[in-house]
Amino acid sequence: MKRRWTSHGLGYAAVLTALAGLGYHQRVVRWYGRTSIAPTLDFPSIVTTSPTLTHGTDPTRHTFYLLPVPELTTWLVGNFTSEAVHFYNHTINEERAEIWLHRGFERLQHHHGRTEDPDEAHVVIIPAYLHFNAFLLRNLGIADEATHRGRRQRPVEQHDTERKPNSLPWTASLWGPEIIRRVRVHNVSKPHVLAVPTWNPKVSRKIGLPTLVHSLTRNEVNLYALGLERNSFWYHLPTTRILPVPYVVATADHAIATASPALSMTPRTPSTATTPSTRTIFFAGDARPNAGFWSGCHRAQLLFPLVNVTLSTTAATYHMDVRVSSKTLPQRLSQAAYNDRIRTATFCLILCGDTPTSRSLASAMSRGGDPKRDEKDDRNGSIDSGCVPLRIGSRWRGFCDAPCREGWGWNVANRSHLPFGGTIIDWSVLPELDEAAFATDPVGTIHTFLSTTSEAQIAVWQQRIRRHGQAWMYGYGHPVTSNDFGRAVEYVWRSLADALPRVDAYGLAE
């Protein structure tokens, strides 16, 4: 297959700038007839055009520098475009976060706080498509000792170890030292943030994340990570050095059958919530049979008493639309049907799983991956206000109260896994039910909650969710080809900037 140098929506200027920053000036001149080196800019402040990000703005202004790593980002996708489209189309949502984050930071401008001068920056962002790179290495049969994959694969040949970024993807033994070399050119004591969220200890090892983290920390780099939860088993850093970011939400125009066992493709069905007085409390997800052993979470036992239950209060009647899918009892929804139910439900249950976090919170907060409906709904007076996330237990807040127990693949962080906490989203005002009471009497616990919750309170919660809907969307469509972005990365950067005054030698001082 003929390879072409193309960014496919990732920005030629960004590719050229990255190459120039790596010292490939002659190559850039030879390929394009000119150099494209971004000037050193003085951007002393973060000025956001978003009214949702002005609240709690830190008077201390901060800037970030996006470390050029084209071998693991733009070059990789540009030279293996069809493979990238295939991989990100069929992999799970969590592995798309790496490319959405990089492309999102790439499009931020100086008024957001970006600078092209690494010495001026307060933060250095390190992007890398490690999940995609590992996929390429595996399919090309290239062994990578650093990721513990070598069976039935050819060893890296001598000419591979000497190649420039114009042939094959790099193994961790190549890109690890190269990233360290580029980082150490500048001040390693300032916060360096690794933008490679992952979702499993085994996957983390396969993509070479522990190798990179240990190499950077051994070289005294002040390292942090963006993570889907504060999980030391996934990121190999203390929980104080992991900043939570949202899970990736699949939109209806990018419905992937393999994205989740509970969300495979089936014909779309209408929601049960049709009138203001008949409302829905919604949950759909996998039974997670191992969660009982790993975290003390027995989803099927918790939710079975709620199936098809109807609860009445003085204000409304609530139908429990609860679907727990398993191999013996598949109750799967298409992505479109799942999103539709989230948009029309009044409450969405946010339940425990294998680990403290899950994608369901991001789905609820983004109104089923479609926060853009807000303006249309406002104009039409629609009752489609989106569901209020109803968290069961304290796990999202980083605690492990009974019946929770610490288990395989995760640890009790004692720090919140909730993204954008503090000055951006006040999570304390959104509802949370006691997990022990829910486990004992799920129907009674929810009925008591509904009976003591006023219509005005529900409206306030929905308004808060609508206000930050775009914060949970990295983008719409395919992450390789789409140029339709949400605002998740803007919120991530705002969270980083807010956290900087609390950074000390041991992590985030809380």
Q: What pLDDT, in 10s, does the model give residues 412-451?
A: 888 999 999 877 899 999 999 999 999 999 999 999 999 9
Q: Which pLDDT belongs to residue 500?
A: 76
Q: Which has the higher per-residue pLDDT, 173 or 274?
A: 173
Residue 408: band (very low, low, confident or very high) from pLDDT cuts 50, 70, 90 = confident
Residue 41: band (very low, low, confident or very high) from pLDDT cuts 50, 70, 90 = very low
Question: What is the C-alpha separation between 352 and 350, in angstroms, rounded?
Answer: 7
Question: What is the C-alpha separation between 484 and 107, in angstroms, rounded?
Answer: 11
Q: Considering only 86-100, 334-348, 366-380, which range has the smallest mean pLDDT?
A: 366-380
Q: Which has the higher per-residue pLDDT, 494 or 44?
A: 494
Give the residues across from 242 on adjacent strands: 225
Q: Considering only 57-66, 134-143, 196-205, 297-306, which range has the smallest mean pLDDT?
A: 57-66
The answer to whether 103 touches 477, Cβ cutoff 8 Å, is no
Q: Which pLDDT belongs to residue 473?
A: 94
Which residue bears the tokens 């949970």?
A: 472
Q: Which pLDDT belongs to residue 410?
A: 82
Question: What is the C-alpha separation between 192 and 208, in angstroms, rounded?
Answer: 18
Q: Which pLDDT belongs to residue 17?
A: 39
Q: Which pLDDT belongs to residue 155?
A: 39
Q: Considering only 228-232, 343-347, 385-389, which range has the smallest mean pLDDT?
A: 385-389
Q: Which pLDDT belongs to residue 143?
A: 73
Q: Which pLDDT belongs to residue 222?
A: 94
Q: Considering only 143-147, 243-247, 287-291, 436-440, which range has the smallest mean pLDDT?
A: 143-147
Q: Which has the higher per-residue pLDDT, 174 or 76?
A: 76
Whether pLDDT at 115 is above 90: yes
Q: Considering only 28-42, 172-186, 268-282, 374-388, which range has the smallest mean pLDDT?
A: 28-42
Cα–Cα–Cα angle for 427, 428, 432, rounded to 5 degrees: 90
Q: Which pLDDT belongs to residue 411?
A: 81
- Please compute the mean of the pLDDT values over residues 54-82 and round it to a whole number: 80
Q: Beta-strand (E) ranges in 80-134?
A: 123-127
Whether pLDDT at 263 is above 70: no
Give the phi and the psi of residue 192 in degrees, each rounded to 5: -110, 125
Instruction: Give 198-238 pLDDT, tens digit per residue.
Output: 999 999 999 999 999 999 999 999 999 999 999 999 999 99
SS3 194: strand
Q: Which has the higher per-residue pLDDT, 262 or 41?
A: 262
Q: Which has the higher per-residue pLDDT, 367 or 152?
A: 367
Question: What is the C-alpha separation between 416 and 356, in angstroms, rounded?
Answer: 10
Q: Considering only 62-71, 382-391, 475-484, which range has the smallest mean pLDDT?
A: 382-391
Instruction: Give 444-455 pLDDT, tens digit per residue.
Output: 999 999 999 999
Q: Considering only 76-85, 374-383, 411-420, which range has the smallest mean pLDDT?
A: 374-383
- Please compute the mean of the pLDDT values over residues 27-53 and round it to a whole number: 27
The answer to whether 132 touches 84, Cβ cutoff 8 Å, is yes
The answer to whether 477 touches 8, Cβ cutoff 8 Å, is no
Q: Which has the higher per-residue pLDDT, 14 or 497?
A: 497
Distance of alpha carbon 90 from the chain centroid = 17
Residue 507: band (very low, low, confident or very high) from pLDDT cuts 50, 70, 90 = low
Whether pLDDT at 252 is above 70: no
- Average pLDDT of the residues of the chain: 78
Helix axes 81-90, 130-140, angle to 10 degrees: 110
Give the phi and the psi of residue 113 in degrees, each rounded to 5: 120, 10
- Please compute the mean of the pLDDT values over residues 455-468 and round it to a whole number: 91
Residue 145: band (very low, low, confident or very high) from pLDDT cuts 50, 70, 90 = low
Hey, what amino acid is at 334?
S
What is the pTM assigned to this prediction? Answer: 0.80
Q: How far apart are the first and last CA of the chain?
A: 52
Q: Which pLDDT belongs to residue 11?
A: 43
Whether pLDDT at 255 is above 80: no
Q: Which pLDDT belongs to residue 373?
A: 60
Residue 168: band (very low, low, confident or very high) from pLDDT cuts 50, 70, 90 = confident
Question: What is the C-alpha separation between 401 and 433, in angstroms, rounded?
Answer: 12
Q: Which pLDDT belongs to residue 154?
A: 39
Q: Which has the higher per-residue pLDDT, 152 or 431?
A: 431
Kindly give the pairing relationship between strand 64-66 and strand 123-127: parallel
Q: Which has the higher per-residue pLDDT, 410 or 208?
A: 208
Residue 4: band (very low, low, confident or very high) from pLDDT cuts 50, 70, 90 = very low
The percent of residues above 70 in pLDDT, for the chain, comes to 74
Kindly give the pairing relationship between strand 507-508 and strand 317-325: unpaired
